[in-house]
Chains A and B, each alone.
Chain A
C-alpha cells in the first residue's frame, strides 16, 4: 500500500572525468554527429555569421552564429536554424489537435491546445444541430454553452492562422467534436509524429486520438456503423456529456494503454500505432498489475523490447 523509495543519486564517479579525456583534442564536429543528425546544445558555435543568416534558435555573438537551444541544426541555403527538442507545440495548417475549452466569448470559444497561445474556435466553424449545412441563428449565439462549455475536451483541425500566430480551429467533420468515454494523457508534443491518420483503433477495444499538440485521448472503441450518419445529426448525441456504459475489461485496457503511453513518453520514444501495439502485446505477457508498468524496471524492459523490434 505504501512504498517508499529514494531519489536517484548520480553514481559517485558521475561528475569526475577520466584523466585521458582532459588531454584529448576535442573536435566538436565529429564527436556529436550521430547517424547524420546534427545535434547541438546551447552555446555551441555553429558557423561564421559572415556567410550565413541566423534563424530561430540561434543568436549572433562576435561574428559567430551560436545555438541558443538544444536540438537539430537545419540549413536551408543560407539560413541556419535550430529546431528545439523541448518546445511548445508549433501548429501547421491541417494538423489534428485535441483541445480543452478555457473561455466562452461572443461567437467564439478559446481553446487550450498546449501551445504558446490559446487557439480560437469560431461559432461558424462548428456543426450545429439539425443538419451539417444549417446556418447559425441569433439564438445559437446565446446558447453557446449548450454546445461547448468551459472544461470540455474536443478534437479539431487547424484551419488557419490569425495575424499573431493564433490557431483557428474547426470541427466541421463527423469524426471531430466533443470527446467522451475515456481519459486524457499529456506527452511532449515532439513525440507525436505526423501520420496519415491520427485515429487509431487498438484490438483490445480501445480507441486513440493522437493530437499533434501532445494531448492523447484514450477511449472506448466506437464501432463505425454506430457513428452518426449525416441525416441523423442529433445535437443530443453529439454535444452530449453522458458517457456510455463501459465494462470492466475496457476500463482496464484504457488504464493499461495510459500507463504505456506515460512510460514511453518519459523515455522519449516517439508514439506511433505500431509502437503502441507492440507495447500493448508485450505488457499482456507480463505478470503483475497494470499499475506495475509504472515501475522503473518494467519501463526498462519495455523500452528494450520496443527498440529491439526496430
Chain B
C-alpha cells in the first residue's frame, strides 16, 4: 500500500512480463496464484477470538510476507435510549511503524484510517450482524471490538486483512449469560399461609409480562461460551490488480507499484451458491468502463468462491487441531 520506490525500467519489465504470452511474474507464479498462506486461530488466549495470518511468509526462517494479527474482545455496553439494540461491531486496523519504515507518522495515520474505514464499513453492516450479541434486551448488549494489527506488509494487504478478520470472528465465542431479576423483600413476606398459586407463578404463555431483568451473571465463569452466530456469513475479499486487459491476484509490493489501478471486491457466502457483494472499491487513478467492471466482478466472484471454501476448510482444521490438543493435555493430566 505504501508507495514503493521502483524504477521505470523495473516497472516496464514487470508489465511486459504480465502481458506476455504466457504471462510471467517475478517469482514464477501464474496470474491467479496466491503465495502460501499461514493461518493459526486462537493464538491469544485472553481474547474472545483471535487469528494470526501471513501471506508469503518464508517457511524456513519466517521472514518476509504480509503479517496480520486479529483479535476480538467483547465488552458489555449499556444501551442508550435510541441506540440500536442487539450489540454492535467496531473494527480497528493499526499499522505497526516497523511495517512501514519509510512512512512518516502522519502518513501512517492516514493509512490506518483508510484501512479501518474499509473494514469497519464492510463488517459492521447490518446484513452481517450476528444475532447473539444481546444480553438483556434494551438494556445491555455486547460490544464486539475487532482489532487488527499489521506487523509486516509485502503486498495484498486487503485480502490479508479480510481473511484474518473472518478467521478471528469464526473463532469468537460469546460468553453465556443469564438474566437476573431482583425482587423487593415485601413480596416475599406476603406469600405466607394460603398460597395463591396463580399469583406467584408466571405462565410462559403470558406475553403481557414485561421483563424486569436488570442485570446478568455468567452461569459458568470458565465457560468460553457459544459460537458467534452467523460465522458462515463473514466475507472474504479479493483484490484484482489491473494492467490493460488482464488482471492478476496477490501482488507483491513491486507489482502493486507497477499497476495503475486495483479493484477490491468483497463477497459473502451465506450459502455456497448465493454470493452477495458486500463491498467494492476502486483504488488507483485509472478509469474502468462499466462492461469491463461487470466482467471483473464475475471473475472476482469465482476467485472468492475458491478462497472461501479453502479458508473454511482450514478454519475447521484449526478447530479440530485445537480440540485435539486440549484433549491430549487433559489426558496427560489424568
Contacts and interface: CB of A to CB of B under 8 A. Distances in A.
Interface in B46-73: 52, 54, 58-63
Nearest to B12: A243
A112 to B, nearest CB: 8
A7 interface: yes
Contacts of B60: 266-267, 296, 299
B13 A246 contact: yes
Contact of A102 (B5, B12, B307): B5
B12 A241 contact: yes
A183 B12 contact: no
Interface string A1-36: 111111110000000000000000000000000000
A117 interface: no
A1 B32 contact: yes
Contact of B306 (A2, A182, A294): A2
Interface stretch (B35-43, B204-212, B271-279, B289-297): B35-43
Contact of A184 (B8, B10, B22): B10
B27 A258 contact: yes
Contact of B311 (A4, A112, A152, A248): A4
A97 to B, nearest CB: 16
B59 to A, nearest CB: 4
Q: What's the interface size class on B, roughly?
A: 35 or more
A102 B52 CA distance: 34
B8 A241 contact: yes
Interface string A173-202: 000001111111000000000000000000
Contacts of A296: 59-60
A100 interface: yes
Interface stretch (A65-73, A230-238, A249-257): A249-257
Nearest to B3: A151
Given A153-B9, A179-B9, A252 B38 contact: no
A267 B59 CA distance: 11
A170 to B, nearest CB: 20
A291 interface: yes
Interface in B1-49: 5-10, 12-14, 16-17, 20, 22, 24-29, 32-34, 36-40
B310 interface: yes
Contacts of A291: 27-29, 33
A248 B24 contact: yes
A100 B5 contact: yes
A248 B17 CA distance: 9
Q: What's the interface size class on A, roughly?
A: 35 or more
A289 interface: yes
A242 B12 contact: yes
B37 A3 contact: yes
A38 to B, nearest CB: 24
A259 interface: yes
A211 B214 CA distance: 71
A178 B306 CA distance: 43
A204 interface: no
B16 A151 contact: no
B28 A255 contact: yes
B28 A183 contact: no
Nearest to B24: A251
A77 interface: no
Contacts of B22: 248
A241 B9 CA distance: 5
21 contacts: A1-B33, A2-B306, A2-B310, A4-B310, A5-B38, A5-B59, A6-B38, A7-B38, A102-B5, A151-B5, A153-B9, A183-B10, A248-B20, A255-B24, A259-B28, A266-B58, A266-B61, A266-B63, A267-B61, A295-B36, A296-B59
Given A2-B34, A259-B27, A296-B59, 15 more contacts: A1-B34, A4-B39, A8-B62, A152-B7, A181-B9, A182-B13, A183-B13, A183-B26, A183-B254, A248-B22, A251-B24, A266-B60, A266-B63, A267-B60, A294-B36
Interface of B: 5-10, 12-14, 16-17, 20, 22, 24-29, 32-34, 36-40, 52, 54, 58-63, 254, 306-307, 310-311, 313-314
Interface of A: 1-8, 100, 102, 112, 150-153, 178-184, 241-243, 246, 248, 251-252, 255-256, 258-259, 262, 266-267, 289-291, 293-296, 299
